[in-house]
Structure 1
Amino acid sequence: MDLDEAFELVGEFGPRQKRLTAFLVLLQVFVAFQSMLIVLVGAVPEYHLDLEEIPASREVLAKHVRFASNFTSIATEWYLIKHDAYKVSLAASLYFAGLLIGNIMFGPLSDKLGRKPVYLTGIFFDVIFGYVSAFAPNYEIFAISRFFVGITNGGMSLVSFVLTQEYVGKSFWALTGSLTNLTFAVGIAIYALLGYYIREWRFLAFISNSPGLFFFLLSFMLPESPRWLYSQGRTAEAENVLQYIALGNGKERLSVKLKQCIGAVKKDDSESGVLSLVKHPVLRWRTVILMYIWSGRRKSTTAFLIFAGIACIFTMCLPENRGGFFFSPSILALCGKLTVSAAFNIIYIYTSELYPTVVRNAGLGVCSMTCRFGGILAPFVPSLKTLGPSVPFVVFGISGLSAGFLTLLLPETLNKPIAETIEDLQTSTYQMLKNKKVNQLEENS
């Protein structure tokens, strides 16, 4: 049988897969802690400076500044105020620069070396550098550690997302992907609660990083992705993982036997990885469109993005107190934010469905890289108000509309088989489904 048929046999979302998925989904709470850390540990409370001129020496500055609040942060410990205030934003920017690099690095590595070893390496160094941030003796070490936390946290979370997809049957990818993004939002709320009660920044950083140690130790029990093993031609190992899943699903007497994967990647295959996204015409076209969509799952992304763009443009056209409650600019802006968030959730799932298993993480990494660029540029959009109060809404509106219509150029993936290798893209979806029916008819005959 092929892999999709094997998942139907062992169970697409049985008890064992639910436990594996729940573990990786809960990991997003830790990912959210690291992503939001600088928001609280970098907070600058109100302060009073009893000098008109800023002293050059930090020791002198410490004698003349008084902070009003009772919480500590890197700003209060290292006096990152006035001419040094930019260092808080710099630490945040270094983290997001690390995310960008991590997405580029870890995606192709996990496609080449395997999901589990790359994931374990990422979460190990994520925890190490997280503790370095908590105990950093000076700002420079703190900022550098945040850069490396960004690399490992971004790459590790990308691989863990793909694992939640590849442990289960394709019909449950939307569920596991949505749960992952939902739990990340819950993690942000939990981190805010921690920050409310823990007022000392080093202790907050220590507590926020400690769940990572727990997840790292338990991650050794995770199996390798059966889809990745199958795409690499390691059929026997893929069968063992599927057998392990079947046992956990209560199917002890089940025997799984996979057919050899056509076009499986060889160990010396130099064309696998990011280069395949450029060389292969179908992947190249998909990557260009997806990169644009990510910077601003199924084709339902189109409706969400178009609605978001329309909401932005209506917000631009309506004055604050006109149009009634349901057509007020504030309500339309909130609707736009809701639909953009929905589209962002779906695009993760849709992107993973569009790429074959052998380059799935590489594709997700390259596409999410453009999302990081969008995050860097987004803070500058409000400055366009100097050209007119409606200009930022025009920029966001056009981006949403154009991204939504570009999605129409991509294929639908609902109820379609997942490509395991690049060679699978040469065969049309219709032909793949037709061949399955012919083979089934021959077996019945």
Structure 2
Amino acid sequence: MAVSYFKVYVACQSMLIVLVGAVPEYHIDQEGIPTSRAELAKRIHFADNFTSIVTEWYLIEQEAYKVSLASSLFFAGLLIGNITFGPLSDKLGRKPVYISGSLTNLTFAVGIAVYALLGYCVREWRYLALVSNTPGVIFLLLSFMLPESPRWLYSQGKTAEAEDVLQYIAFGNGKERLNLKLQPSAGTLRKDELAPGILNLVKHPVLRWQTIILMYIWYVCSFVYYGLTLNAGELRGNLYLNVALSGLVEVPAFPLCMFFIEKSWSGRRKTMTCFLIFAGFACIFTMFLPTNAGLLLSPTLLALCGKMMVSAAFNIVYIYTSELYPTVLRNAGLGVCSMSCRFGGILAPFVPSMKSLSPSVPFVVFGISGLSAGFLTLLLPETLNKPIAESIEDLQSPKYQVLKNEEAEQTS
């Protein structure tokens, strides 16, 4: 539960720049061109009743890129954290680095709506940043109450501690004390039992192109998802309502994708392909709609539909990727894909600024990206009701291929 609430805090951090860096309507007195920031401060007039770093330091015109840069640096920090703290979680445990997996992506979507509500109530950007960041201290203190991963404890030879954590979890679920006794663990793995490293993703032809395709799909999911999320502040209409809707529209995406990926006639591959293609078309079709049209025919509605579709695809790609890799390479595969995902987040903040060329340009960029990733997904194998390989040898063995064919015949 604590980790679920933490996702709300993470959502507020990811969306911080949308309101803290919001650009209100403004006009500059047309009596020559301002030659200094002091002169610009006297002649510029902001229309809306909120403050932001834009109104504080006049980040408009040639200075507008600094807002996108601030958001991009946030995602660059996530990339650094992914590279740095990922390996630490295997050495120090999951609890010290405060990650043992996310409980649900729904709380992230709700967190976006919560942030919109905070922004509506707190119009001064410094106070908004303070309110949004304060829960981080609370979650840091609460993290000491979380138990360590019993699986990690067992893998490190700490059998007694793993038993205590399992008893704690059982008690929290309303169960009586378990008569539990784990087999002694040898602790750290022998050298010949260590999981193959990242190089094996490139070395073996059966995994090489699969990894490249998955890296691109993860990149596009992040690029389009965060691009549309950050672009919510650029849409016409009420700023806070647009931000809230960009989060709430994800709520139906989770049960929707969970329904389709378990059906034999759709599965993982077809479902993700359809969601990415639909997201791409939704973005591209915005260029054919007038900006002053009603709600049912507005670019805002199509952008929200695209956000829901790419959010569903983002949920699926975690499951799909973990099933495509053999057990010994699963962590390495997910790690590489997660890193490529961060690059999408780094580039995404700069795309909304391309509206200076044309209002539809950002959506066309997102649309083409979604379509390309959707069609590339068709090159990957289906994993629904298929045996999951334990090792690289399993992927190449005739027995594994026979099992895959038998599973395919049973589900067809």
Alignment TM class, shorter chain as reference: 0.5 to 0.7
How many Å separate the matches in 1 of 2:170 and 2:343?
42
Count of aligned residue pairs for this structure pair? 344
- Equivalent of 1:251 in 170, 173, 176: 176
Q: Verify: 1:33 aligned to 2:12, yes or no.
A: yes
Evaluate the alpha carbon distance shift between residue 37 and residue 267 of structure 1 in structure 2; reply closer, same or farther with a 3 A threshold.
farther
Contact 1:47-1:68 at 8 Å conserved across structures: yes
Evaluate the alpha carbon distance shift between residue 64 and residue 385 of structure 1 in structure 2; reply closer, same or farther with a 3 A threshold.
closer
The C-alpha deviation readout for 1:377-410, integer Å capped at 9, x for no partner, is 5665988989999975873464243233133x26
Evaluate the alpha carbon distance shift between residue 230 and residue 385 of structure 1 in structure 2; reply closer, same or farther with a 3 A threshold.
farther
For residue 220 of structure 1, report the CA deviation from its aligned partner. 0.5
Contact 1:115-1:224 at 8 Å conserved across structures: yes
Contact 2:268-2:320 at 8 Å conserved across structures: no
Point out where structure 2 has 5 or more consecutive residues left out of the alignment: 221-257, 262-266, 291-296, 404-412
- Equivalent of 1:305 in 273, 281, 286: 273
Q: Verify: 1:191 aligned to 2:110, yes or no.
A: no
- Equivalent of 1:84 in 43, 46, 63: 63
How many Å separate the matches in 2 of 1:118 and 1:277?
26
2:180 alignment partner, SS class: coil
How many Å separate the matches in 2 of 1:91 and 1:64?
26
- Equivalent of 2:314 in 344, 360, 373: 344
For residue 424 of structure 1, report the CA deviation from its aligned partner. 10
User: Paired residue for 1:288?
Assistant: 212
How many Å separate the matches in 2 of 1:217 and 1:320?
49
How many Å separate the matches in 2 of 1:232 and 1:357?
19
For residue 204 of structure 1, report the CA deviation from its aligned partner. 0.5
How many Å separate the matches in 1 of 2:158 and 2:395?
22
User: Paired residue for 1:55?
Assistant: 35
How many Å separate the matches in 2 of 1:319 and 1:46?
25
1:71 alignment partner, SS class: coil
Evaluate the alpha carbon distance shift between residue 389 and residue 70 of structure 1 in structure 2; reply closer, same or farther with a 3 A threshold.
closer
What letter matches 1:186 in structure 2? Answer: V
Q: Verify: 1:224 aligned to 2:148, yes or no.
A: yes
How many Å separate the matches in 1 of 2:344 and 2:153?
34
How many Å separate the matches in 2 of 1:329 and 1:84?
30
How many Å separate the matches in 2 of 1:389 and 1:41?
21
User: Paired residue for 2:24?
Assistant: 45
Evaluate the alpha carbon distance shift between residue 237 and residue 362 of structure 1 in structure 2; reply closer, same or farther with a 3 A threshold.
farther
For residue 348 of structure 1, report the CA deviation from its aligned partner. 2.2
For residue 77 of structure 1, report the CA deviation from its aligned partner. 1.8
The C-alpha deviation readout for 1:412-444, integer Å capped at 9, x for no partner, is 4x697896xx6997898x99xx9xxxxxxxxxx
How do 1:65-214 residues align onto structure 2 when only pairs under 5 Å count?
65-119=44-98, 159-160=99-100, 162=101, 164=102, 176=103, 180-214=104-138
Evaluate the alpha carbon distance shift between residue 209 and residue 333 of structure 1 in structure 2; reply closer, same or farther with a 3 A threshold.
closer
The C-alpha deviation readout for 1:51-107, integer Å capped at 9, x for no partner, is 522223x34433343333332111222222333222112211211222222223222
1:186 alignment partner, SS class: helix
Q: CA RMSD of the aligned region, Å?
A: 4.5
TM-score in terms of structure 1 length: 0.62
Point out where structure 1 has 5 or more consecutive residues left out of the alignment: 1-21, 120-158, 165-175, 322-327, 435-445
For residue 219 of structure 1, report the CA deviation from its aligned partner. 0.7
TM-score in terms of structure 2 length: 0.66
Evaluate the alpha carbon distance shift between residue 279 and residue 260 of structure 1 in structure 2; reply closer, same or farther with a 3 A threshold.
farther
Contact 2:27-2:45 at 8 Å conserved across structures: yes
User: Paired residue for 1:367?
Assistant: 337
How many Å separate the matches in 1 of 2:304 and 2:329?
36
For residue 234 of structure 1, report the CA deviation from its aligned partner. 4.3
1:116 alignment partner, SS class: coil
For residue 42 of structure 1, report the CA deviation from its aligned partner. 0.9
Contact 1:103-1:366 at 8 Å conserved across structures: no
How many Å separate the matches in 2 of 1:394 and 1:71?
32
2:378 alignment partner, SS class: helix
1:72 alignment partner, SS class: coil
For residue 294 of structure 1, report the CA deviation from its aligned partner. 1.2
What letter matches 2:94 in structure 1? Answer: R
Contact 1:100-1:372 at 8 Å conserved across structures: yes
How many Å separate the matches in 2 of 1:31 and 1:37?
10
How many Å separate the matches in 2 of 1:355 and 1:95?
30
Evaluate the alpha carbon distance shift between residue 41 and residue 259 of structure 1 in structure 2; reply closer, same or farther with a 3 A threshold.
same
How many Å separate the matches in 2 of 1:390 and 1:41?
23
For residue 290 of structure 1, report the CA deviation from its aligned partner. 2.3
Contact 1:71-1:200 at 8 Å conserved across structures: yes
Evaluate the alpha carbon distance shift between residue 92 and residue 394 of structure 1 in structure 2; reply closer, same or farther with a 3 A threshold.
closer
Contact 2:196-2:329 at 8 Å conserved across structures: yes
How many Å separate the matches in 2 of 1:229 and 1:277?
28
Evaluate the alpha carbon distance shift between residue 312 and residue 63 of structure 1 in structure 2; reply closer, same or farther with a 3 A threshold.
closer
- Equivalent of 1:395 in 356, 364, 368: 368
Evaluate the alpha carbon distance shift between residue 267 and residue 217 of structure 1 in structure 2; reply closer, same or farther with a 3 A threshold.
farther
Evaluate the alpha carbon distance shift between residue 337 and residue 65 of structure 1 in structure 2; reply closer, same or farther with a 3 A threshold.
closer
